[in-house]
A and B are shown apart, each in its own frame.
Chain A
């Protein structure tokens, strides 16, 4: 067991290392002088010097990389070129809304997608199954920002049930928080629900063919016990896997959703950073989201090993 944990943990290190190498090289290997790329063609010599100094661009490449990695290890992600504040401080100010949105979307996904997928597999080929499949293709096809605007115009503008845009932190009360997070979370979750319900259905269809499901039914167990206790548990691995790999997609969706609903989170921060060519900030946000992605997938992998002894011995 410990052997498996250590092995899995060691595999995550080269992945993160490559992410770091990649964002490092992206700036340095883009054709042109990195300082000019960032500052723009009209930059003064002094501005260019500041940027070169800030990013250590005068050193040889390998030296730059070693210094940069060393700083990362010590938790120093650099300083924003625009506001001159440490990028981690800027990220810290904006991460709350993003995490709330991502977690709310994730909860909505599990709440809707698992029952939908299970029911679709249960009524395989019937009307309900087809409805779930059609919904899932729709969820994949309608972009998040379109879903967002449809939700705004129906629930906020026409029915006036919820506020149009904006964000209130949880600390200002549960009701205002939920009122404002619900629509963006639903817009964001739509594609995720499509993905997870589809995978749940596929995985359940396979498990429902198994002998032990027939046995469970034959001994007269309640159908919902068969479906949710026996089948869903055994169908869990592919579902969890897609929840984990879908996280990268979720973050991409967050960037767009925050823009539609005017939520002051990391997504808005990154878009502003691009427009200002604030590369240290973009770099840090990429490293951070990639780190979270790797961590979530690591935890999911470890959870298989905890719940399913077969995984440990592979």
Chain B
């Protein structure tokens, strides 16, 4: 029993023993942490209500009260960008978690049971053939565009990627000597999946999760920008930009600020994802 515990502890240490992160990774973590905190504490941090109208203060440049200026309704841009962070973080996190939770069991099944593999993978191929935004647009068209619908719409096209990843990992581990040995000892399928295959998928899944997190935030912003995402009354980065584009020539800051925050956010997540991938799979480091 104690042996088991020490083996587990060693494994946990090995997983946690990330190499010293480079300055770029540290910077990415700091930026991302700031955005997460900004989103979480938006109600406390925002100097104004994000939906507070002020017809006297329309399209004003940045000053001491309105740090990023105001939009065409006189709403405080800084407060709106803070609240936008909140939506983006919720969308990114739920989509990543949801698509991993659905993709993981499907991938395990496809990788372990050859009978299910053919059918399941053709279905996944079909889902992958539909461009993500179009799929999301179709789902939004059929439902009332709320937060949950948008998350589901963005999640659907991400699932096949997870299934393929998990399946590939399972197939490569399935033929390893230790799995073969477990099978010869009469270990049941469920136990092999649970004890050997599942842990082998964790590393790639964490990495994939960060990429999905980034992709989901991008897709949500694109949907809002096109006017088919979360309703325009909600301040999301995409909605702010969609409104701001009408005044782009006059007040580019309405597009500029959400764009900068959004780009830095995605950049940080991607850098973090690359760093995680390098530390979880040193072989990838050389290949990039």
Contacts and interface: CB of A to CB of B under 8 A. Distances in A.
A127 interface: no
B162 interface: no
A255 B134 contact: yes
B140 interface: yes
B271 interface: yes
B122 interface: yes
B262 interface: yes
A255 B126 contact: no
Q: List 10 A-B pairs, minimum CB-CB distance, nearest first.
A: A18-B126, A252-B133, A141-B267, A251-B131, A141-B266, A290-B129, A146-B259, A274-B141, A30-B142, A14-B122
A285 interface: yes
A198 interface: yes
Interface string A138-153: 1011111110010001
Interface stretch (B12-20, B35-43, B224-232): B224-232
A252 B134 contact: yes
Contacts of B127: 18, 22
A275 B270 CA distance: 33
A31 B249 CA distance: 43
Given A15-B125, A149-B259, A255 B142 contact: no
Contacts of A201: 288
A232 B287 CA distance: 16
Nearest to B130: A290
Nearest to B263: A142
A23, A255, A277, A279 — which one has the most chain B CB atoms within 10 A of its CB?
Answer: A255
B55 interface: no
A202 B277 CA distance: 15
B132 A145 contact: no
B168 interface: no
Q: Which of A249, A283, A286 has the most CB of B within 10 A?
A: A286
Given A23-B138, A255-B131, 15 more contacts: A18-B126, A137-B274, A140-B214, A142-B267, A143-B222, A145-B222, A146-B262, A153-B248, A249-B132, A256-B133, A282-B137, A285-B134, A286-B134, A289-B130, A293-B129
A91 to B, nearest CB: 13
26 contacts: A15-B126, A15-B129, A16-B126, A17-B126, A19-B129, A37-B143, A140-B214, A141-B214, A142-B266, A143-B221, A143-B262, A146-B262, A146-B263, A149-B252, A205-B287, A206-B287, A248-B130, A252-B133, A255-B131, A255-B222, A259-B225, A259-B226, A274-B140, A275-B227, A282-B134, A293-B130
B200 interface: no
Interface in B121-166: 122-123, 125-135, 137-143
A140 B127 CA distance: 22
B84 to A, nearest CB: 14
B39 to A, nearest CB: 18
Interface residues of B, number: 46
Q: Is the interface of A mostly helix, strand, loop or mixed?
A: helix
Contact of B228 (A21, A198, A249, A275): A275
B88 to A, nearest CB: 12
Contacts of A245: 128
Nearest to A245: B128
B241 interface: yes
B142 A202 contact: no
Contact of B131 (A198, A283, A293, A294): A293
B4 interface: no
Interface string A107-145: 000000000000000000000000001000110111111
Q: How large is the interface on A (under 10, 10 to 19, 20 to 34, 35 or more residues)?
A: 35 or more
Interface in A68-89: none
B286 interface: yes
A141 B138 CA distance: 25
A221 B259 CA distance: 48
Contacts of B142: 26-27, 30, 37, 279
Contacts of A271: 137, 226-228
Contacts of A22: 126-127, 130
Nearest to A22: B126
Nearest to B268: A141
Interface string A8-39: 00010011111101110011001000000100
A248 B263 contact: no
A197 to B, nearest CB: 11
Given A145-B222, A255-B133, A293-B131, A274 B126 contact: no
Contacts of A286: 130, 134-135, 138
